Structure 1
Amino acid sequence: MFVRLALLAATLALSVVDVAVADSGPLDKLKAHRLAITLDNGVLTGPGAAPLLEASRQAQYVLLGEDHGVAEIAQFSSAYFNALTPVGFTTLVTENGAVVTGALEGMLKRQDAVAAIARFNATYPDSIAFYTMREEAEMLAGFAVTAGPRFQYWGIDQEFLGSSKYLITSMLAQPVNPAARAKLEALLQMEAVAYRKAVDTGNPLAYLMLSASTEELASLGPLLADPKEQIALSLLDALLESRAIYQKSASRVPGDRDLSNRMRLALFKRTLASRLGAQEQKLLVKVGANHAYKGTNPLNNRDIGNFLAERAEGLGKTSLHVIVLAAKGKQLRFTGPGKPHQAALIELDSPAFKLLNSAGATDGSWSLFDLRPLRSGSRKLAAGDIELFNLINGYDFALIIPEGSASAQLATP
């Protein structure tokens, strides 16, 4: 009887503790699952490093959702990704067009990879998104070395705004008939004029990708009918699809921006599915924070994060989702055609992100939050805050860097 009473008393005591924990607010809950993590000479250390890396090594897909243009986030990404190569993570996926990423992949296998990216950017300006920032380019180059012979680099986005010159030049390098070649050479001359206008006016809509008429570009398609011209035709398709996405994004017609976003996400998923095929491999995916959510993201989309989470589950495997944000400081941003990128102030625009920051360490150290234990009670914890609910269920870990510094733009060689 005494034993039964003791067990009952213990059970009641645990129940009281559980209720107390369950009734604590989201700030206290986050603080209870905060771990310090440190970047020390390119290596992740501190109490948070081991659980993050252990969970990551067990996953099939690791997705890092970030705020672009922050030097510390690129440096964290480098240390994080490099630590995962020994368990088979040798393929990196980012937000660049598949064609330009193919060129980047070749550069990254060279000893002068960062300089090669700078030279490419000088020749084909505004063809590469994000990775003309020095810390980002160094992250790519370092990962390529660490991954070794199995290194692969995939781009799943539309081609960047200024990439028409590279796409047309690449088409001209293919075996094409005289009529198609004449058309391409004329387009290349038009591109030079359009680029100069874009630089002079500061208007990205003046780039050839957006300023040329649909008829001017599409008329090239029927000229590329020979089987030997299929690569050139696929490059044209990439140009036209990228153009369509940007046009809808720039449109003032109600609903067009949402349509642009859906078109872009469909491209993400289609490109990934075609690359993965029947032979699955581990992936490291580095994208903007909205893209890497499981479930529905803050834009009410089921993005690439959800796509890979579902795919992993269907394979009987897992995906891991990590969001990395700087609470304040500066980030480097694109400011227009031909113009130097500029540092801009970082502002956390979401109450959920501000709450994370409030739960962070007060001594200036980095804070890693393990969100997984909060998931079972997330609806009650969020108390109607859909952004907090989506954050807890959409990400497994959240890293808050107290203050970030703007990445540096690669110098023109």
Structure 2
Amino acid sequence: MRTLKILVCSTLFWFLYSNFSLAAEDSLSKAITQSAQPLHFNNGNFSGPAFDTLVEQGKQAQFFLIGEEHGIAENPMLAAQLFAALKGSGYQHLVIEVSPQIAKMMEQHLAKDGLEGLRQLFAKPGGEPAFFGMQQEAKMLADIKALLPDNNDVLLGVDYEVASDRPLLQWLQEQEVLDSAKAPLTQLTHASQQSWDRYYQEKNPQYIFSFAGDPALVKDVIESWPSASNDVDWTLHELQKTLEINRYWVQGQGWQSNQARVELLRENFLKHWQQIKDQAGQAKLMAKLGASHLMRGLSSNATFDLGTLLPELAEINGGKAVSVMVLPGAKSNVAVLDPVNWAFQPAPAKDGYTKGLQALYAQSKDGMMLFDMKKLRPMMKGKLKTESLELYRAVFGFDYVLIMTGSTASAEFEHQ
């Protein structure tokens, strides 16, 4: 009899649990439908309820955060149009995924010659940083800089430097180098060029200097140049951290590499912040980086990145941040870097952000769609929490998710 009671109770429990789970999933589906707003895209221009919502949210916010799957052609076009719409409410800066000094170089070339200036910079050996070797990304920088021609710090680089060590080293050579630092700097420059020469000869990405270089070479320059200017010191620090971060990666210590990179991103942003904020701690900016960097809370890389820092910083200043994750449409390709030939090629999305978001994709089949994550948060519990981890992370990590149905892969930015 006792066994029968246990069996009956167990069966009843699973019956109720299954029906509760189905009801929860049905409620979530209805909530997703109710939260959806279409984004229209015609002749290169965005409009519609979703665009109006993003503009209104951006006007109310201090930080507008765009976390993306890299390589979507339409996303930088949207970012440029949003920045233009938000400029009047005080937006003056764009945070991007390159090193601080490379961002400064790009801005100087854009200020002088626009997109052609960027083409000239990228024509130099190593001049092309990651991501901005894509046509639409380069044009976004040119469009945004053109909106603020008199601002000398529109572009704020916060990342390490994957490929542009050679222009950084050339820039360092052009500074007033202490006699004690000349030999170590020459040795570092020679090591970089040797590594790149081998990369070109063997077409093997392991010889890209940022992955093959020895951090001790940069440390020697730093120690021999004690009175360096702030810009020189920052650039040398970037080079050393880049080599340290990638050495972790090469050694198979992926989390340590990600954590070290996050620490650098946060450190670089706060350095910029000290320079651009006013006495009340106010400055409006847009940030456009990979989605993991702008995810609130524990990111998909198991780190606490800028997506956690920036909303808290905005609230400390009496403001707020608004964040949107931008994803490619179902079966759409994105531009992915081929490190062997250093060129962007169309390929399926590779960063895993679309995984587990079938509930959103199911309701964005007919066009670009913006989903309000705030409306879904009360429902993310029980089975939806434990069995839909990626959806759970998207719902709480971003305020909005934009699925760019019909999106295309970014094109290569042609330069010599």
TM-score (norm 2): 0.85
**In 2, distance between residues paired with 1:231 and 1:273?**
15
2:273 maps to 276
**Between 317-326 and 388-397, the greater mean CA deviation after superposition:** 388-397
Asked if the contact 2:327/2:354 (under 8 Å) is kept, the reply is no
Asked if the contact 1:245/1:264 (under 8 Å) is kept, the reply is yes
Asked if the contact 2:126/2:165 (under 8 Å) is kept, the reply is no
| Inter-CA distance 187–337: structure 2 relative to 1 (3 Å threshold) | farther
- Within-5 A mapping of 1:176-191: 176-191=177-192
**In 1, distance between residues paired with 2:196 and 2:356?**
41
| Inter-CA distance 349–208: structure 2 relative to 1 (3 Å threshold) | closer
1:296 Cα offset (Å): 2.1
Asked if the contact 2:28/2:376 (under 8 Å) is kept, the reply is no
**In 2, distance between residues paired with 1:121 and 1:148?**
21
**In 1, distance between residues paired with 2:202 and 2:165?**
18
Residue 409 of structure 2 is aligned to residue 406 of structure 1: yes
1:275 Cα offset (Å): 1.6
Structure 1, unmatched stretches of 5+, are 1-19
**In 2, distance between residues paired with 1:216 and 1:146?**
40
1:375 Cα offset (Å): 2.0
1:228 Cα offset (Å): 5.2
1:77 Cα offset (Å): 1.6
1:214 Cα offset (Å): 4.0
**In 2, distance between residues paired with 1:410 and 1:313?**
38
The one-letter code matched in structure 2 to 1:346 is A
Aligned with 1:372 (options 371, 374, 379): 374
In the alignment of these two chains, the number of paired residues is 386
1:294 maps to 296
Asked if the contact 2:328/2:334 (under 8 Å) is kept, the reply is no
The one-letter code matched in structure 2 to 1:101 is A
Asked if the contact 1:174/1:231 (under 8 Å) is kept, the reply is no
Asked if the contact 1:127/1:166 (under 8 Å) is kept, the reply is no
**In 2, distance between residues paired with 1:23 and 1:208?**
49
**In 2, distance between residues paired with 1:126 and 1:354?**
39
Residue 236 of structure 2 is aligned to residue 236 of structure 1: yes
Report the secondary structure of 1:109's partner residue.
Answer: helix
**In 2, distance between residues paired with 1:282 and 1:215?**
38
- Within-5 A mapping of 1:138-153: 138-150=139-151, 152-153=154-155
Residue 67 of structure 2 is aligned to residue 70 of structure 1: no
**In 2, distance between residues paired with 1:120 and 1:337?**
21
Residue 269 of structure 2 is aligned to residue 265 of structure 1: no
Residue 398 of structure 2 is aligned to residue 395 of structure 1: yes
2:247 maps to 247
1:295 Cα offset (Å): 1.8
Structure 2, unmatched stretches of 5+, are 1-21
**In 2, distance between residues paired with 1:56 and 1:21?**
35
**In 2, distance between residues paired with 1:29 and 1:351?**
20
Aligned with 1:49 (options 47, 51, 56): 51
1:42 Cα offset (Å): 4.9
Asked if the contact 1:180/1:224 (under 8 Å) is kept, the reply is yes
The one-letter code matched in structure 2 to 1:352 is G
**In 2, distance between residues paired with 1:308 and 1:189?**
39
Asked if the contact 1:117/1:132 (under 8 Å) is kept, the reply is no
**In 2, distance between residues paired with 1:209 and 1:290?**
22
- Within-5 A mapping of 1:132-171: 132-150=133-151, 152-160=154-162, 162-171=163-172
**In 2, distance between residues paired with 1:346 and 1:177?**
47
After superposition, give the CA deviation of every residue in 1:37-65 in whole Å (9 maximum; x if it has no partner). 11345543112222221111100111001
**In 1, distance between residues paired with 2:353 and 2:186?**
46
Asked if the contact 2:109/2:121 (under 8 Å) is kept, the reply is no
The one-letter code matched in structure 1 to 2:31 is K
After superposition, give the CA deviation of every residue in 1:52-95 in whole Å (9 maximum; x if it has no partner). 21111100111001111111112122222221111011200011
1:10 maps to none
The one-letter code matched in structure 2 to 1:244 is E
**In 1, distance between residues paired with 2:403 and 2:247?**
35
**In 2, distance between residues paired with 1:289 and 1:386?**
16
**Between 318-327 and 20-29, the greater mean CA deviation after superposition:** 20-29
**In 2, distance between residues paired with 1:146 and 1:21?**
50
| Inter-CA distance 378–212: structure 2 relative to 1 (3 Å threshold) | closer
TM-score (norm 1): 0.86
**In 2, distance between residues paired with 1:49 and 1:261?**
33
1:305 maps to 307
The one-letter code matched in structure 1 to 2:362 is S
- Within-5 A mapping of 1:27-46: 27-46=29-48
**Between 316-325 and 32-41, the greater mean CA deviation after superposition:** 32-41
1:260 Cα offset (Å): 1.0
**In 2, distance between residues paired with 1:215 and 1:389?**
42
Residue 342 of structure 2 is aligned to residue 345 of structure 1: no
RMSD: 2.4
| Inter-CA distance 375–312: structure 2 relative to 1 (3 Å threshold) | same
Asked if the contact 1:176/1:229 (under 8 Å) is kept, the reply is no
**In 2, distance between residues paired with 1:204 and 1:113?**
31
**Between 280-289 and 368-377, the greater mean CA deviation after superposition:** 368-377
Report the secondary structure of 1:121's partner residue.
Answer: helix
1:354 maps to 358
Aligned-residue sequence identity (percent) comes to 24
After superposition, give the CA deviation of every residue in 1:176-215 in whole Å (9 maximum; x if it has no partner). 1334324433433333222121122232331333434444
